Amino acid sequence: MLAFVLRRAVQAVLVMVVVALIAFTLFRFVGDPVNQMVGIETSAQERARLRQELGLNDPVVVQFARFIWAAAHFDFGVSYQFKQPVNDLIKQRFPATIELSLVSALFSLLLGIPMGVYTALHRDSWLSGFILTVSLVGISLPTFLTGILLIFLFSVTLGWLPSFGRGDVVAIGFWTTGLLTKSGLRAIILPAVTLGLFQMALIMRLVRSEMIEVLRTDYIKFARARGLPNRIVNFGHALKNTLVPVMTIAGLQLGSIIAFAIITETVFQWPGMGLLFLRAVQNADIPIMSAYLLLVAGIFVIINLVVDLLYVVVDPRIRIEARSA
């Protein structure tokens, strides 16, 4: 068990190192730190001096080490656009993105799983056909289009929900949350649905196909042959076996949601990290880009690790193997 965890941890570190390398390369070689900091009039001598000061003439390995060290202390330099420490910018906007992502993920799971189970168990009912069609539309609509359509319907035409911003937020420590205020709750509905729709459709289809597969297995057949009632067969055995692989994929989807938040934040002007990153891409603001990259990579890697460990806990076959590994 320990060996398994260690192996996964090592893998995670490896991925982070590769990502750090990419982020560093971006930071150091694509963007030019000096040229961004000074004006056109600065003399060549000044620039050379700055270069030396910033340690840009040191061996690459040393610079890389310095980069990692700084990153470990959440020091990502100064943004080209805003002339502020990247660290501060990201910290400000981190809660908004995470809240949005979590609410969306919850939405997609709470709706996606039951719908998937229903359509697997009642394959021929009209409701299943309807749900399947809706899900197909769900994965065919790009996130931004869903957002625009929802805004058009609920903000422009009906005027029920706001179309931009986060509403009022409450600060708790360094975190700000919009979930405790009425306007905050109203503001998060449309973005969360937009962000979660695609995922919900995906999860629904996944649960459905997994469950159909499971319902075809010998052990389900044997369970029926033993005369177990449908309720136990479907929700005791089949559901449990379905959710195990689904759970891992759903976990990975959380990472996807965080990335897709970029789009949703753009459409709804949601003040999160994604919007920050997009502006950075549009303006070639390398420090923000590389910081976002590292941060998001870290989040993904942790999610992957947690999901892998979760799998071990839930699936006894792997647990026993891992123990003996």
Partner 1 sequence: MTDFVLSVRNLRVEFPNRHGTLVAVNDVSFDIARGEVLGVVGETGAGKSLTANAIIGLLEPPGRIANGEVRLDGERIDQLSPEAMRRIRGKRIGMVFQDPLTSLNPLYRIGAQLIETISVHTNYQGAQARRRAIALLNEVGLPAAEERIDNYPHQFSGGMRQRVVVALALAADPELLIADEPTTALDVSVQAQIISLLKRLCRERGTAVMLITHDMGVIAETADRMAVMYAGRIVEIGSVRDVITKPLHPYSVGLMNSIPRLDSDLETLAQIPGSMPRPGSIPSGCAFRSRCQSAFAPCATLRPELMTRGASKVACWLYGDAPASGEAAQ
Partner 2 sequence: MSAQHDASHIKWSPRLTKFLDNDLVYSFRKSKITVVATLVALVIVLGAVLAPWIAPHNPFDLKTLNLLDSNMPPVWAKGGDARFLLGTDDQGRDVFSTILYGSRLSLAVGLMSVALAAALGITLGLLAGYSGGVIDTLIMRAADVQLTFPAILIALLIDGTVRALFGESHDENAAIWVLVLSIGLSFWVQYARTVRSMTFVEKNKDYVLAARLIGIRPWFILVRHILPNVIGPVLVIVTINLALAIILEATLSFLGVGLSPTQPSLGTMIRIGNNFLFSGEWWIAIFPGVTLAALVLSVNLVGDWLRDALNPKLR
13 binds partner 2 (CB under 8 A): no
Q: Does 266 bind partner 2 (CB under 8 A)?
A: yes
125 binds partner 1 (CB under 8 A): no
248 burial (CB, 10 Å; 0-12 / 13-18 / 19+) is middle
Q: Enumerate residues 6+ apart whose C-beta is below 8 A from 239.
A: 117, 211
Place of tokens 């919007």: 275
Contact string 275-294 vs partner 2 (x = CB under 8 A): --xx-xxx-x-x--x---x-
DSSP state of 41: S
Question: C-beta of 123: minimal distance to partner 2 in Å?
Answer: 12
Q: Is 123 strand, coil or helix?
A: coil
Phi and psi torsions of 270, nearest 5°? -80, 125
Q: Are 109 and 202 in contact (CB under 8 A)?
A: no
**Nearest to partner 1 of 38, 232 (CB atom):** 232
Q: Quote the CA–CA distance of 303 and 306 in Å, as a whole number.
A: 5
Question: Binders of partner 1 among 215-274, rule CB under 8 A?
Answer: 217-219, 221-230, 232, 236-237, 240-241, 244
Taking residue 262's Cβ as centre, other Cβ atoms within 10 Å add up to: 20
Shortest distance, position 295 Cβ to partner 2, whole Å? 12
Please give the residue ranges that form the binding site for partner 1 (CB under 8 A).
217-219, 221-230, 232, 236-237, 240-241, 244, 314-317, 320
Please give the residue ranges that form the binding site for partner 2 (CB under 8 A).
11, 14-15, 18-19, 26, 30-31, 136-137, 139-145, 148-149, 151-152, 156, 255-256, 259-260, 262-263, 266-267, 277-278, 280-282, 284, 286, 289, 293, 296-297, 300-301, 304
